[in-house]
Structure 1
Amino acid sequence: MAKTAREIALEVIHRVHKTGSYANLLLPKKLRESDLDRRDKAFTTELTYGTLRAKGTLDWIIQQFSKQKPDKIPDLVLDLTRMSVYQIMYMDVPDHASVNEAVLIAKKNFHPGISKFVNGLLRTIAREKDNLPWPDKEKDPARYISLKYFHPPWIVKMWIEEFGIEQTEALCEADNRPPKLVIRVNTLKITPEKLTDELKEAGWQVEPGMYMPEALVAKDAGDITRVPQFKEGQFYAQDESSMIIAHVVDPQPGETILDVAAAPGGKTTHMAQLMHNKGQILSVDVNPNRVNLLKQNIQRMGATIAQAIKADATKLKSVVKKPVDRILC
């Protein structure tokens, strides 16, 4: 039997928490293998990433109403509960649908006592969601903003010192909105104008980015990995804030660049195109699985001057044999 959108989201969330898997690698694979339509894939994506981002806040909410502390709830049950609370609190999903679907999954995977626990807890949270005992904003603004908008406390404290309480809250709220899909045109292979025309012919809505000439904002794109332009390395999914970094490094043709913690390769392949594939880029990452992904992206994007290297960035004497012109760390 084909898995539902929520079952796929739960599987990915649980594997990320249990094994340290990368959601951005695991989820697209699961979606490609599924029978979900475009709308359900978008729902699964928002649910998965949202639940992972909001983990600390979701656990705090669960703790307010559960007789069992989160660390005493079985792992898979806790992830199911987190996922359902995220729908109740942050998604445009009817509360009864969030509860009922969670109970169905619980009945399918656990004994009756678990489904009763999930049902009771979620119904209570849905009923009381507007009365949560958030920390006092006046007395402890950093904790209030950190919990409500699920941002790390150290970032919130730093932003409050820099921008003030109200602007920090607005910033965190904006930061949680689903981002637009931005792609970086690989100018080693195609121009932004030509790629725009091709993608529009394929049914995409495409418009120029805000800052980078090689950036395009795509709408109604569906699974971008299925289009031939992606497979041929004509573009890379990358936010403009990430694209800016390669321009700050400003690598010049013929130079030797060291890219530390380089996987999955967005900035490495971007620097290669800015260098017109002339020079050398040493792209280092310590994780073997991420190095494999780095190699795949280097090959797909045609970044022939880039070399993917598995190494510890604190021990590079055996890797870097000659002086380098610039380092991206």
Structure 2
Amino acid sequence: MRLHRNLVFATIDALSEIFNQEKYADKVIQNTLKRDKRWGSRDRSFVAETTYDIVRWKRLYSEIAEVKAPYSRENLFRLFAVWATLRGITIPDWKQFEPVPSRRIKGKFDELSQIRKYRESIPDWMDELGVKELGEKTWEKEIHALNEQAPVVLRVNTLNITRDKLRSILKDEGIATEPIKDYPDALQLEERANVFITDAFQKGYFEVQDASSQLVARFLDVEPGMRVVDTCAGAGGKTLHIAALMENKGQIIATDIYENKLKELKRRAKRAGAHNIEPRVIDSSKVVKKLYGKADRVLIDAPCSGLGVLSRNPDAKWKLQPEFIDNIKKTQSDILDQYSRILKPGGKMVYATCSILPSENEKQVAQFLDREEGKDFKLVKDKKVLSSESGYDGFYMALLEKAK
């Protein structure tokens, strides 16, 4: 592979923003790809995938390159040189690159690969927490899987089209997909592609949604005509899936504390042709209290550590702190106590996270059932999805039923 100066420089600029200004990698890459309209799909793919690669392996590459934060431009070129060397890419004779000691880089890589926190490029505290919560064997497999590049999975919008029909249309647009067994609404891309520029996307035929995430709406056991409250709706990935499963019949109240996310949900719902969604901003406790005892189904897609989605958000490894996880567990507990009151007697509720930690998942549910707030609830079933077993995001979901 021949390296092109403008693409390498764009990658270095992106890394500087992510590492030194602590900006979110997906937003930085999104903006970086708008930099040059002449870039083709291969150029854009190089910038995006190389940036994500170096973010994913930051600790390992920094150790090999002997550099530390804050990263000077010179240091970032050293990280890039490590990335290129380990992939057998010839380093160009540019003044930005020092003479690259290829043998020493490969030797250090072999040496550090014997130690998990370097091999999987994670902070010490995260490695210790993973072992404590999941056990050595499971954590070893799981963190390895979470360092793999996430596949691109689409959720077919069954309000507008069937899976087979969408697959045929995408094939005509040059995008090959495969159905996924046991995921009735999912299609997986055979090769990465920018699906957002397709006519099929503009017509609301699909959303991009990981296969594990697609399990949650079905787990809620919704039916057309019900009143459903999605309490932490965000931009509405699961809300839209619920709308499709309800065939646009009934009412979905989508609440969130962030108004801008609900505006995005409105936009997406319009494109999807989902007409039974009513967004409500939680700007005071009254918004939730007005809903007490009124829903047939409640979804609590709770804020969490996000450790199950590191494959698509590798920068989270460097942004997360142990204190955040302690605080988010308290938030999860409070949300369960408060939002569970929205459910009618005899109704069902799903508590879900994109975390793999039992302390955020099954232990959180068990503690809720032991509290006064959970005394009328019983656990119907739960499901833990590990990335190392499924090939998709790590997830947890529990279906709870309220006594009549």
Normalised by the length of structure 2, the TM-score is 0.61
RMSD of aligned C-alpha atoms? 3.4
Report the CA distance between 1:49 and its aligned residue.
Answer: 1.8
Residues 1:322 and 2:294 aligned together: no
Partner SS for 1:241: coil
Contact 2:153 2:187 in 1 (8 A): yes
Counterparts in 2 of 1:60 and 1:191: CA distance versus 1, 3 Å: same
Partner of 2:189: 218
Whole-angstrom CA distance in 2 between matches of 1:36 and 1:82: 24
Q: Which residue of 1 aligns with 2:69?
A: 70
> Does the alignment pair 1:178 with 2:180?
no
For residues 282-313 of structure 1, the C-alpha deviation after alignment (integer angstroms, 9 at most, x for no partner) is 4344456544443432332233333445547x
AA paired with 1:185?
V
SS of structure 1 residue aligned to 2:231: strand
Partners of 1:193 and 1:278 in 2: how far apart? 24
Structure 2 residue identity aligned to 1:52: V
Matching residue's letter, 2:246: M
Q: Please report how far the alpha carbon of residue 234 of structure 1 lies from its aligned counterpart in structure 2 after TM superposition.
A: 0.7
Kept in 2: contact 1:278–1:305 (CA 8 A): yes
Aligned residues of 2:269 and 2:275 also touching (Cα < 8 A)? yes
Equivalent-residue separation in structure 2 for 1:16 and 1:242 (angstroms): 26
Q: CA deviation at 1:149?
A: 0.8
CA distance in 2, matches of 1:263, 1:185: 20
Once the two structures are TM-superposed, the CA of residue 266 in structure 1 deviates from its matched residue by 1.6
Q: Cα gap change, 1:197/1:320 in structure 2, threshold over 3 Å: closer, same or farther?
A: farther
Q: Which of 40, 43, 49 is 1:40 aligned to?
A: 43
Deviation at 1:187, TM superposition (A): 0.6
Task: Please give the TM-score of this superposition, normalised by the length of structure 1.
Answer: 0.73
Kindly state the Cα deviation for residue 183 of structure 1 after the two structures are TM-superposed: 0.7
Task: Give the drift of 1:208.
Answer: 0.5
Question: For residues 60 and 291 of structure 1, what CA distance do their matches in structure 2 show?
Answer: 42
Match of 1:263 among 222, 231, 234: 234
Q: Does 1:131 align with 2:108?
A: yes
> Does the 8 A contact of 1:88 with 1:126 survive in 2?
no
- Partners of 1:238 and 1:288 in 2: how far apart? 22
One-letter amino acid matched to 1:43: F
Aligned residue number for residue 58 of structure 1: 61
1:243 counterpart residue number: 214
Partner of 2:33: 31
1:276 CA displacement = 1.9
**1:47–1:87 contact (8 Å) kept in structure 2:** no
- Local SS of the residue matching 2:155: strand
Amino acid at match of 2:185: E
> How many residues matched?
293
More helix by share: 1
User: Deviation string for 1:246-275 (max 9, x for gaps)?
Assistant: 222333332221231x33332221122122
Equivalent residue for 1:119?
Answer: 98
Report what 1:111 is aligned to. none
Contact in 2 for aligned 1:13/1:52 (Cα 8 Å): yes
CA–CA separation in structure 1 for the residues paired with 2:113 and 2:57: 20
Deviation by residue 1:25-59 (Cα, 9 ceiling, x = unmatched):
44345436532233333222221222223334433
Matched, 1:189 2:157: no
CA contact (8 A) 2:64 2:105 kept: no
Identity %: 26
Counterparts of 1:320 and 1:12 in 2: how far apart (Å)? 44
Matches of 2:16 and 2:261 in 1, distance apart?
A: 20
| Corresponding position of 1:232 | 203
CA contact (8 A) 2:222 2:246 kept: yes
Q: Once the two structures are superposed, what CA deviation does each residue of 1:194-239 show, in whole Å capped at 9, x if it has no partner?
A: 1011111222222111331110112245321111101111111111
Matched-pair contact (CA < 8 Å) for 1:277–1:305: yes
Match of 1:208 among 165, 169, 179: 179
Cα distance in 2, alignment partners of residues 300 and 150 from structure 1: 39
Match of 2:6 in 1: 4
The Cα of 1:7 is off from its aligned counterpart by 2.9
Measure, in 2, the Cα distance between the counterparts of 1:286 and 1:58: 38
Greater per-residue strand proportion: 2
Partner of 1:141: none
Between the aligned partners of 2:203 and 2:174, the Cα distance in structure 1 is: 18
Aligned 8 A contact 1:212 1:244 in 2 = yes
Higher relative contact order (CA 8 A, sep 6+): 2
2:268: which partner in 1? 297
